[in-house]
Amino acid sequence: MGLLVYLYVVKHTKILLTAIGLLLVPELLQAQQASDYEIYARAAGPDMPLLRSRVADSYGNYFNGTYLADTLGFLPGNISFEGKTYENLPLNLDAVLQHVLLQQEGSPIVLDLGRDRVEAFTRGSKTYVNLPAIGYSLPAGFYELMAQGHGAVYKRVNKVFSHLVDLNHDAKAFIGYDDPYYRSDIFDYYQHKEYWYWIKEDGTIQRLRNKRKIRSAIQTVQARETH
């Protein structure tokens, strides 16, 4: 019986060698992947921690308005991520999830940097702060700095996925801007909502619920001291 097995093995040497080769493939692939990763890591340089983030969700195209904070697109900015600052990166804000988005250079891939690991970031001329992360009792999200001096005024833009129920109206008034691609035959849209807050010098927070209070708070914050 042992001889029969031996003869069978000899007869099928090529099959065995092939099988052994297949067993080695994962190790070879792992080595190749490690090599590719090292190349990728070197190319990423100091931005590597950011590039470990997951790919951002796709919202599709069948809606009016945008899930982003505005229509300016990805703009260069700096970000404080896990206590470290990264500079000159193309950034945007998903205003539905309140997550920071990073456009990979030379690629259509967009990474989701999340919210909890980001303390603050700039985007073009705008500055956003994760106020809840630094101790303020406010809804989760990023707050755009609108004025500072004697305290500061912040605005949080939030987008809410909505469906138009009354077909006698359209959603143009709800999406927050004049959308040149607006389609009246699409009833889903992202509703634009704004929340304004005045953080005073003593740390107290006041919700600003109308334009008059917003203007007054900004004037007070920016007013120079008189002697």
Provide the pLDDT for residue 133.
94
Contact 144, 72 (CB under 8 A): no
For 133, counting Cβ atoms within 10 Å of its Cβ (0-12 exposed, 13-18 middle, 19+ buried), the class is: middle
> Helix, strand, coil proportions of the chain in percent (round to 5)?
30, 35, 35
Q: Tokens for 84?
A: 């470290």
Task: Please report, for the chain, the start and end positions of each structural domain, with discontinuous segments joined by +.
Answer: 2-46, 53-222
Q: Tokens for 130?
A: 């994760």
Segment 15-62, tens digit of pLDDT: 333 332 333 334 433 444 444 434 444 544 555 667 677 889 888 888
Q: What is the mean pLDDT of the chain?
A: 81
Please give the Cα distance from 55 to 57 (Å, whole number).
7
| Percent of the chain clearing pLDDT 90 (strictly above) | 58
Q: Is the Cα dihedral 155, 156, 161, 162 positive or negative?
A: negative
Please give the Cα distance from 101 to 91 (Å, whole number).
6
Segment 158-204, tens digit of pLDDT: 999 999 887 667 888 899 998 888 998 899 999 999 999 999 999 99
Query: Which whole number is the average pLDDT over 117-124?
Result: 96
Helix (H) or strand (E) holding 31: helix 13-44
Q: Is the Cα dihedral 134, 138, 141, 146 positive or negative?
A: negative
